[in-house]
Amino acid sequence: MNPNKSLLLIPLIAIFFSINSSASYFPSEASWEIAVPEDEGVSSQRIDKLLDLSFSDNATQSVVVIKNGKIISERYAEDYDKNSHGTSWSMAKSYYAALIGISIDKGEILSLDDKVSDYLDYFNDERSAITLRDLLDMSSGLEFPSHEHEKMFFQSDHLKYAKSVGVEKDAGIKFEYNNVNSMLLGDILIKATGKRADVLFEERILQPLGINDYKLWKDENGNVMTYCCVDMSARDYSKLGLLFSRNGMWNEEQIISKEFVDETFQVVWDITPQRWTTLKRAYSLHWWVSKYDDESKIFNTSGKFGQFTFVDRENDVIVTRITKYDQQDFGDTQKWGIMKYLRWAGVENAISIGRMLLDSGSIEAGSDITSPVTNENGASKEFYQNYGEIIDAIADLSRD
């Protein structure tokens, strides 16, 4: 070899091993390395801009920024810290969808293109053409009311509600964000594996990632709410984001196959209906896509009141933002009590009345009602208004 070429290779090799070394870091169960942003190639000023935008909304509880697996910044609202729980709302959809991928990896489920009726005998009717992919891509064609089946949240038996929903249109032709699609995942997983979704989540994802402080909510009948409601800290939500950023790998263990992560991190529905933002967004396998261009590809989990984990896989950047939440210490199973009479009041009315009753002391959380609850001070406003700027600020973290 030409000696001059050898000399040129030395710095290239050094750069390769430096990048590879950074990408190989994973937090342990007990600790997470804190790094100076500039040491990971990120400007502190750009991080400050992102955090200031995020905290312009008083609903923000926590923001954690990860680069190369290390925390390069985090900020918490007053009275909250790194151990404070948030509740995920629909961010949970992305987690339970990952269990479908793991079951495919293990041969318990053959393919995303399997018919749902292969696993759920009650789909051997007008729903028989619907596939697992249709459920995960939100294109099942199941009945789609204006409340997107959020009324299911106020039932004592969410699975019974989901089983009763019929067909409205052919599968695979239209994106409709339908909570029933996600609730059915738990029943599919039971049929495929013999285990409940919360047990699978613990065994196959949470334990390998060293996440041990959490709640996985169930309805009054013990059905896992696979369309919502996982409580944990912003740091732990970020671990789930890091798992996807690292192609499903955690330390030396392949938790989810890279093939399934690749399948997830693409664009299926390239334009979704506008919801609280005019920013063009897309969707794939229970993940949202907030940016997909030559500059960066930012995928995210998303919760009803402004809970997000953003993942820029190409640049190994994760940003988690959760909203203010009163951590619940009285179990992980819903109990509605007198609130059950609000289930037909309409979703927004039920939320407003429930908040009023809790704030006034007419009902007490933990005795009269047990459920994840986001109070008005944890419902996003400015974060939604600034959403486009926030996505640009996340992309800016990786710009030269």
* pLDDT score, position 15: 42
Of 248, 210, 233, which is closest to residue 28 (Cα–Cα)? 210
* pLDDT score, position 347: 66
Q: Rounded to an integer, what distance in angstroms lies between the CA atom of residue 202 and that of residue 215?
A: 10
Which structure tokens are listed for 329? Answer: 């210490």
* pLDDT score, position 359: 80
The CATH architecture of the domain made up of 40-335+370-396 is: 3-Layer(aba) Sandwich (3.40)
Q: Rounded to an integer, what distance in angstroms lies between the CA atom of residue 176 and that of residue 165?
A: 14
Q: Rounded to an integer, what distance in angstroms lies between the CA atom of residue 220 and that of residue 180?
A: 17
Given a cut of 70, the residues of the chain with pLDDT beneath it are 1-23, 341-347
Percent of the chain, pLDDT > 90? 78
* pLDDT score, position 367: 75
- Across the chain, mean pLDDT equals 92
Residue 72 three-state SS: strand
* pLDDT score, position 343: 66
Query: 331-384, pLDDT tens digit by residue?
Result: 899 998 877 766 666 667 777 777 788 788 887 777 788 999 999 999 999 999
* pLDDT score, position 247: 98
* pLDDT score, position 271: 83
* In the chain, beta strands by DSSP E: 60-67, 70-76, 85-87, 215-216, 230-233, 249-250, 253-254, 282-284, 287-292, 297-302, 308-312, 317-323
Domain range summary for the chain, segments of one domain joined by +: 40-335+370-396
Query: DSSP string spanning 163-220?
Result: HT--B-S-TTS-----HHHHHHHHHHHHHHHSS-HHHHHIIIIITTTT--S-EE-B-T
Query: DSSP string spanning 292-311?
Result: ESSS-EEEEEE-TTS-EEEE
Q: Rounded to an integer, what distance in angstroms lies between the CA atom of residue 393 and that of residue 400?
A: 13
Whole-model pTM: value is 0.92
